[in-house]
Structure 1
Amino acid sequence: MQYHHRLATREDLPAIVDIYNSAVLARSSTCDLEPVTVDSRQEWFDRATTERHPIWVGYEPHSPETVTGYLSFEPFLNGRPGYDVTSDLAIYLHPAHRGRGQGRDLLRDAITYAPQLGVRTLATTIFANNEASLRLFRSHGFQEWGRLPGVADLDGTIHDIVFVGRPVSSTA
């Protein structure tokens, strides 16, 4: 199945929060330890701009109103202007839509679209034991740029983080 995406709207925020919270509870792809609320994510959503840091929501072709995942182009590191040529990608998928090609479709389109945002480099951090995400990013040309040993503690389980990235161009 091929997924599609569109820019997120305010009406999508509850679905985005639900998807993110499924990752929080799974302890597989975020360091938040408690579920977030729509209110607590409103400022994050409002800071996202279509010009620099858009949020896309994924959906199946027959149901564009049903959010099945999302991708956000986040400011890199601390968001200082010198880092504007780099975007930190975040991809989260609804549990029922993992392993079905949605991550592949979102990531492929993000790589192609990044130059239109003025982005020359894409990067992200992934738990070292999250083989599915590592495989996804490697299959799209991301390389390991570093490993941060033991930097995450999720309820007493220590995790290494793998830092991956890749350059992009108008011919990516």
Structure 2
Amino acid sequence: MAYVIAKKKNTDEKPFDYLPKFHTLRDGTEVILDYYDNQDEEETYRILKDIVDDGQSYPQETMETIQEFKDYYLSHDAFVVRQAQTAEVLGAFYIKPNFPGRCSHLSNAGFIVKPSARRKGIARFMAQNYLYMARDLGYKASMFNLVFVNNEGSLKLWRDLGFVEIGRIPNAGNLKGVGFTDAVQFYYDFATLPQKQ
């Protein structure tokens, strides 16, 4: 039987004094990394639903309702990148324990970027901040369980940021239009991070 990770208790706590964080993308677009807010629900859900429907990078086969999205994506800490002028959600990520109990010091994260906003540096901006944010939430390390080998952009990003490949799972996912595909597992020890960003 698979383990269950308890949902984080609802609080209005905002643990980071460095959010919101402003950033300029490669194309000159001004963006803001901030806490997920209920106003982001529809846009964030739509981005994840489209990615799940595409069937190439997330293990779920469907994401049909906002409640499914909330149960999965919002169980712990969630953050968004908004376009500074319009507040449009361009990307998002969650941070949560990868395992329960005695192993809950290992974090996991899920990153999504709106298709029209890709290849502008949003994923790298989120990933670089994730390392510090997860550490500042008290996690000791990060472990990604399923980075499918066809997701070349994600593989490159984690390697560039210094993640260590700790394993490869043969035929881990039956991806849409591709078939059975291997997945790489990545690990990052937060003790190796410089103290400040």
Query: Shorter chain as normaliser: what TM range?
Result: 0.7 to 0.9
1:164 aligns with 2:192: no
RMSD, aligned CA: 1.8
Q: Does 1:16 pair with 2:44?
A: yes
Alpha carbons of 1:24 and 1:45: their partners in 2 closer, same or farther (altered >3 Å)? closer
Aligned residue number for residue 62 of structure 1: 85
CA shift digits 1:94-142 (9 cap, x unpaired): 0011111000100111112222111110121211111001001111111
Asked if the contact 1:8/1:57 (under 8 Å) is kept, the reply is: yes
**One-letter code aligned to 2:190:** V
Work out the percentage of aligned pairs sharing the same amino acid: 21
- Alpha-carbon separation, structure 1, partners of 2:43 and 2:113: 11
2:95 paired with 1:73: yes
2:97–2:105 Cα contact (<8 Å) kept: no
Q: Which runs of 5+ in 2 are unaligned?
A: 1-23, 26-30
2:169 maps to 1:148: yes
Cα drift, residue 45 of structure 1: 5.2
Which structure features the higher share of helix residues?
A: 1
Paired positions, count:
164
Q: Relative to 1, partners in 2 of residues 1:167 and 1:99: Cα closer, same or farther, differing over 3 Å?
A: same
Q: CA deviation at 1:24?
A: 1.3
Q: Tell me the secondary structure at the aligned position of residue 47 of structure 1.
A: coil
Give the aligned partner of residue 99 of structure 1: 119
Aligned-partner Cα distance in 2 for 1:70–1:122: 17
Quick check: which has more Rg, 1 or 2? 2
Match of 1:38 in 2: 66
Q: Mapping of 1:112-131 within 5 angstroms?
A: 112-124=132-144, 125-131=146-152
Higher relative contact order (CA 8 A, sep 6+): 1
CA distance in structure 1 between the aligned counterparts of 2:115 and 2:39, rounded to whole angstroms: 20
Unaligned 5+ segments in structure 1 are 49-53
Opposite residue 74 of structure 1, the aligned amino acid is K
Asked whether the 8 Å contact 1:4–1:105 carries over to 2, the reply is no
SS at structure 2 position matched to 1:111:
helix
Is the CA contact (8 Å cut-off) linking 2:90 and 2:117 kept in structure 1? yes
Farther-moved stretch of structure 1 (152-161 vs 14-23): 152-161
Deviates more, 1:34-43 or 1:105-114: 34-43
Q: Give the 4+ runs in structure 1 shifted more than 6 A.
A: none
* Per-residue deviation, 1:93: 0.6
Counterpart in the other structure of 1:83: 103
TM-score of the pair, normalised by structure 1: 0.86
The 3 A distance-change label for structure 1 pair 81 and 67 is same
Q: Which residue does 2:5 correspond to in 1?
A: none
